[in-house]
Structure 1
Amino acid sequence: MGKCCKCNSRLLCMCLLPFMMTGHLLIYIMVSIFVTMSYAPPKITIHYIAPGISANSSALASHPLGPFWNLQLEDRAMWNQLQHAWDRENNPILRGNTTGISRKPRAQLLTEIARTHDLNSFPEHMGAFIRSMHCREYPLLINQPEMCRRSSDGSGVDSPVLLMAIKSQVGNFENRQAIRETWGHSGMVEGNSNKKGGLVRTVFLLGRQDSSTGPHPDLKNLLELENQKYGDILQWDFRDSFFNLTLKDLLLWQWLQLYCPTATFVFKGDDDVFVRTDVLLDYLLTKKKEHILWKGNTNKTDMDLFVGDVISNAMPNREPSTKYYIPESFYKGMYPPYAGGGGVVYSGSLAFRLKEVSELVRLFPIDDVYLGMCLQRLGLSPSHHPGFLTFDLPVTDRGNPCAYKSVLLVHRRSPKEMLTLWKQLQSMPDQC
């Protein structure tokens, strides 16, 4: 009898065991849910800081205010829409392991987006820019393939320290000649106060005459004669208009890569500026020495120099009567920091990086702003130099040679004013 009870008790325990385990599990789950619902996580400070460097701390930096890849279209302006579409197509996260720029033809994407915009609503010159903004390749009509390989002055030095690339137009013969006879002289140039200088080469960047501005005399033969005499003209087969100036930057970078890849520095400017080339050489050679010393302690060999008169927090000009007018239907937002006013200087190695990144940035009709866009895409900012006087000296100082002592560039000067100023600076008083 006792034996039978033991068996029944054991059997009962075995039967009740699953129910007991299930009950414990239910209790555990209920307690977990209750704890989870009642748990309040600690509040995270909105201004999360991560390791880095900032102006407020030598060890910490604030987190980014926006996502690294912005996948949302913020507005419907045409340029922004085109750039947004390109950013998505070239986003490495969305493209996976594929590399390279968008494989969709630029003209096809432009046509697709242009359908949603009335091109006739834009000013005529803006409409002309939009219709051709996908074109980046133009044949050279006049080339100088030996510009950086010849040494006609007998110096034995072929690689220029400074290449002066001047944006000009076919009819601006006087401007080009004044530059050749003054600050744009091609050859060995001494630094200021007989300091060590270097080889300077000058080229003038031209397109075709813009026939849309009215009838012009045919200057083709005169231009050919000028080029035969001086051999410093680069001309491409595109219409030379204000909104096409950006093309001169793109085509210059292509030309540099093919024909002048060893230029240490590049100056890009207009043909109505005056540059103190000797002082500029002093500045650039000092920067080169600093870079050589600096790169000895790092693994970075490229020199990210881009200098000019930097304009920050600029907004597009919305006044239709100005040549800088950018309709809100074409572009919305702030401009990135950019160097404007007729002249900038940058390192030759940076020119090739600008060329590469320009393939990811839609053409913009204002060349100075476009350079700022490309720099921003590279994660760089232009450096401001007070010697770039893009808004000129005070009127009372313009005739005083001593006022130009610390000047690198002045905008604007006529051919006659260039020649006069050059002569005055050659005999600058010692007391300056």
Structure 2
Amino acid sequence: MRCSRLKKTEMGLFLALGSVTILFLFFILHMTTPTCQLPKERLGTPTPLAPQAAPTRPPPVPCQANDSIATQPDFAEQPEHVRNFLLYKHCRDFQLLQDARPDKCAQPVFLLLAIKSSPSNYERRELLRRTWARERAVRGLRLRRLFLVGTAPNPLEALKVNRLLAMEARVHGDILQWDFHDTFFNLTLKQVLFLQWQAARCAQASFFLNGDDDVFAHTDNMISYLQGHDPNHHLFVGHLIYNVGPIREPWSKYYVPKIVTLKEAYPAYCGGGGFLLSNFTIAALYRASGILELFPIDDVFLGMCLEQEGLQPASHSGIHTAGVHVPSARLSSFDPCVYRNLLLVHRFLPYEMLLMWDALKQPGLTCGKLTRIN
């Protein structure tokens, strides 16, 4: 009985000593190791392994319709696209859904291709990337490419094509997409938004091609032509149009009623299918576009901007936005010799662009005098 009690006492002392030893060791370890800290990201400093994304500009406040315009005579009689233009023509701030890669203009750009494209025109964009709009250096001069896009007016279509454009942006980094409906009367808005982007992000580019995605552009010839010009001087060349005015017939794509403008004559302008301009001139367009009211025909609006700046557009015999006329009935209008010395022709189907670009690159191409267009 006594022996049992002694064993119990010894057991108690052993447990007590063990507990004291554990507490002592814990105290020593606590005093000799750093104090535990919260993770750096919880304190507001991101860790090197997980950098935070750069802050983005918050989306603009949705632009409200100018309802006062609806009280004007003849407003209710206008087609829907005209009414929409009048209600929202003051709106110029739209969210940029897809931006170009940051390095797009990081290095000196000699010729920047600003190509207007509709959201669903994927095949055209792919063909251009493979042909005349391929980013490359021509005689050591850098050529870069951008597609200017809005959103599909139909919400269900927009869901699809917005995903498509996001994929293109990830792969190619050449999509500028804004959150406005991509319609004919909004092409002017697309031009103005590009001028804003260019002034902020690509102000040092020397020259620009502004054109549609259904033109054939001989970009090698363009660079040869532009090498003879100073980017700090005025240059705006294309298919010159003058002595024309608004079409007042409602059936026309270019219908402009008097509620939009009372003027019966447009200033001289170049057809919007494609034209070349210099750094000097694009800066002038940017200044004027911030002063003038938007006009629904984009190429006419740019003519108005030039007039505002005291500048004139000019004609170039190598730019044909109304197609080409071959010099002989025995020749095909698709003969590559017809296009060998031209700069731009409107308009081409996607497969035609591929065929023409390939034909012009053939080293054995020989042409006679009859196929030359001046």
TM-score (norm 1): 0.66
Match of 1:259 in 2: 201
Cα distance in 1 for residues equivalent to 2:367 and 2:321 = 26
CA deviation profile, 1:233-266 (whole Å, cap 9, x unmatched): 0100111111000011111111111111110011
Task: Report what 2:145 is aligned to.
Answer: 202
Alignment of 1:281-430 (within 5 A): 281-288=223-230, 302-332=232-262, 333-394=264-325, 396-427=331-362, 429-430=365-366
Shift of 1:397: 3.5
Report what 1:211 is aligned to.
Answer: 154
- SS of equivalent to 1:219: helix
Alpha-carbon offset, residue 113 of structure 1: 5.7
Provide the C-alpha distance between the structure 1 equivalents of 2:151 and 2:245, rounded to a whole number of angstroms: 31
Q: Partner of 1:274 in structure 2?
A: 216
Q: CA deviation at 1:341?
A: 4.5
Amino acid at match of 2:295: F
The 8 Å contact of residues 168 and 270 in structure 1, kept in 2 or not, is answered as yes
**For the structure 1 residues 365 and 147, does the alpha-carbon distance in structure 2 shift closer, same or farther, using more than 3 Å as the test?**
farther
Task: Determine the C-alpha separation between the residues in 2 that align with 1:399 and 1:261.
Answer: 37
Q: Structure 2 matches for 1:18-417, cutoff 5 A? A: 115-150=71-106, 158-188=107-137, 190=138, 196-211=139-154, 218-288=160-230, 302-332=232-262, 333-394=264-325, 396-417=331-352
For the 8 Å contact 1:341–1:411, the answer to whether it is kept is: no
Cα contact 1:160–1:262 (8 A) shared by 2:
yes
Cα distance between partner residues in 2 of 1:346 and 1:197: 20
1:141 CA drift (Å): 0.5
CA distance in 1, matches of 2:169, 2:215: 22
Separation in structure 2 between the aligned mates of residue 324 and residue 243 of structure 1, nearest angstrom:
9
How many residues align structurally? Answer: 300
CA contact (8 A) 1:170 1:223 kept: yes
Question: Is the Cα–Cα contact under 8 Å of residues 168 and 271 in structure 1 kept in the other structure?
Answer: yes
Instruction: Show structure 1 runs of 5+ residues with no match.
Output: 1-106, 151-157, 191-195, 292-301
- Partner residue in 1 for 2:57: none
Closer, same or farther in 2 for the Cα pair 1:394/1:250, shift >3 Å? Answer: same
Shift of 1:112: 5.2
Question: Secondary structure at the residue paired with 1:121?
Answer: coil
Following TM superposition, by how much is the alpha carbon of 1:197 offset from its aligned partner in structure 2, in angstroms? 5.0
Shift of residue 199, structure 1, vs aligned partner: 0.2
Identity across aligned pairs (percent)?
Answer: 41
**Separation in structure 1 between the aligned mates of residue 271 and residue 196 of structure 2, nearest angstrom:** 22
2:101–2:173 contact (8 Å) kept in structure 1: no
Q: State whether residues 105 and 205 of structure 2, in contact with CA within 8 Å, keep that contact through their aligned partners in structure 1.
A: no
CA contact (8 A) 1:168 1:205 kept: yes
Structure 1 residues 253 and 216: alpha-carbon distance in aligned structure 2, compared to 1, 3 A threshold: closer
Letter in 1 for 2:365: P
Superposed CA deviations along residues 260-313 of structure 1, whole A, max 9, x for unmatched, are 11100111100000000000001111123xx7xxxxxxxxxx411111101000
What CA distance in whole angstroms lies between the structure 1 residues aligned with 2:65 and 2:149? 29
Instruction: Look up the SS of the partner of 1:304 in the other structure.
Output: coil
Q: Which runs of 5+ in 2 are unaligned?
A: 1-62, 369-374
- What root-mean-square deviation, in Å, do the aligned CA atoms of Structure 1 and Structure 2 show? 2.2
